[in-house]
Amino acid sequence: MQKKIGKQTVKLQNPPTITSTYAIVGPKEGQGPLAEFFDQILEDDYFGEESWEKAESKLIKEAVKGAIKSSGLDIGKIDYMFAGDLLNQIISSSFAARALQIPFIGLYGACSTMAVSLSMGAMVIDGGFAENTVCVTSSHFSSAERQYRFPLEQGVQRPPYAQWTVTGSGAAVLTKYGEGPYITHITTGKIVDFGIKDANNMGAAMAPAAVDTISAHFNETGRNPGYYDLIVTGDLATIGREITIDLLKKEGYYIEAIYNDCGCMIFDNIKQDTHAGGSGCGCSAVVLNGYLYNQMKKGDIKKLLFVATGALLSPISSWQGESIPSIAHAIAIESTI
């Protein structure tokens, strides 16, 4: 049977199960509307470490350990760890992998990394190269700010469309045998760039990528928006979400009734002063592995299309006046096959 069913989409022959997940978040996320769905909420975003980078790496380590523990598997049974983050040379991931000693494949997909790691973890299992994999990503508000923007204590005003990087990490253990929820289809995104250059305006930069991937997913699977209980994008936040709805209408897909964005779900933007909403790899990772996984286990969501979005810029590319290449990957997660 041909697994590849379109230019961008694969249908997994033996869909792996998401056996367990773990979501760990910072104090601010712990005050947000999804607080009750997180496995661990930090009181202090240093997490007992002396730097934010070390704290972020510890987030990954703890998320992986937590997810493996609740899967009931021994850590030695995990064949691969797929991980990535926002920091230069993905140090949060590799330093966590140094401690965990699981065969490690580092990924970079900016804020789309949760979907990249799930894609890889699922395909490797379906391909017969592994039985159990762990997929993880993280971000940390303070380590991201200092790399991409300004020192924290500098008194600058953020534009109203800016987003707030989520402090948190989400991990998922995928296994070959299990009773679901299953990863059934993967639509890998292409880079889309509509020319946005303002690094604060990431929702608008990434929305066309989400639209491109979602419409490719529908075209290649023959499904339509009605098939899913929920379509959720990664971190487009309020402005990107609105643009996505309108652009998809032009493509002939009406998703508004069943569509949300993790960046709009994680914070109460008005009370928490997070402007347009959440962003960062951790945003979609903790919403998926915390809230959404919980809803699937309960049976409130049976068919989910998870579309994590990434802005593949760097501070250097911004200084050189480049626009923001963006990407989105879609993962179909279903309770039954």
Binding residues vs other proteins (CB under 8 A): 50-51, 146, 150-161, 192, 194-196, 201, 204, 208, 211-212, 215-216, 239, 242-243, 246-247, 250-251, 276, 323
Q: Indicate the residue among 38 and 47 with the shorter CB distance to other proteins.
A: 47
Sign of CA dihedral 133, 92, 288, 256: negative
Shortest Cβ distance from residue 119 to other proteins (Å)?
20
Shortest Cβ distance from residue 146 to other proteins (Å)?
6
- Residue 197 CB neighbour total at 10 angstroms: 13
Which residues on adjacent β-strands are paired with residue 82?
105, 135
Query: In this structure, what is the dihedral angle of CA atoms 165, 245, 181, 108, given to the nearest 10 degrees?
Result: -40
Q: Indicate the residue among 236 and 292 with the shorter CB distance to other proteins.
A: 236
Q: Indicate the residue among 162 and 296 with the shorter CB distance to other proteins.
A: 162
Shortest Cβ distance from residue 215 to other proteins (Å)?
5
Q: Indicate the residue among 103 and 159 with the shorter CB distance to other proteins.
A: 159
Shortest Cβ distance from residue 196 to other proteins (Å)?
7
Shortest Cβ distance from residue 274 to other proteins (Å)?
13
Shortest Cβ distance from residue 176 to other proteins (Å)?
34
Residue among 104, 113, 176 nearest 144 (CA): 113
Q: Indicate the residue among 232 and 243 with the shorter CB distance to other proteins.
A: 243
Q: Indicate the residue among 48 and 160 with the shorter CB distance to other proteins.
A: 160
Alpha helices in the chain (DSSP H): 52-71, 91-100, 113-126, 141-148, 202-221, 237-251, 262-265, 281-286, 293-298, 315-319
Q: Indicate the residue among 75 and 245 with the shorter CB distance to other proteins.
A: 245
Shortest Cβ distance from residue 54 to other proteins (Å)?
9
Task: Find how far residue 250's CA is from the centre of its chain.
Answer: 26
- DSSP states along 78-90: --EEEEEESSGGG
Q: Which helix (H) or strand (E) holds 15?
A: none
Q: Indicate the residue among 126 and 212 with the shorter CB distance to other proteins.
A: 212
Shortest Cβ distance from residue 19 to other proteins (Å)?
35
How do strand 303-311 and strand 326-334 relate by DSSP bridges? antiparallel
**Angle at the Cα of 163 from the Cα atoms of 241 and 81, rounded to 5 degrees:** 85
Count, in order, helices (H) and strands (E) of the chain.
Answer: 10, 14
- Residue 337 CB neighbour total at 10 angstroms: 11
Q: Indicate the residue among 11 and 217 with the shorter CB distance to other proteins.
A: 217
Residue among 331, 114, 330, 327 nearest 208 (CA): 327
Extract the tokens encoding 58.
């510890």
**Rounded to 5 degrees, what are φ and ψ at 304?**
-125, 135
Residue among 207, 290, 227 nearest 20 (CA): 290
Shortest Cβ distance from residue 31 to other proteins (Å)?
18
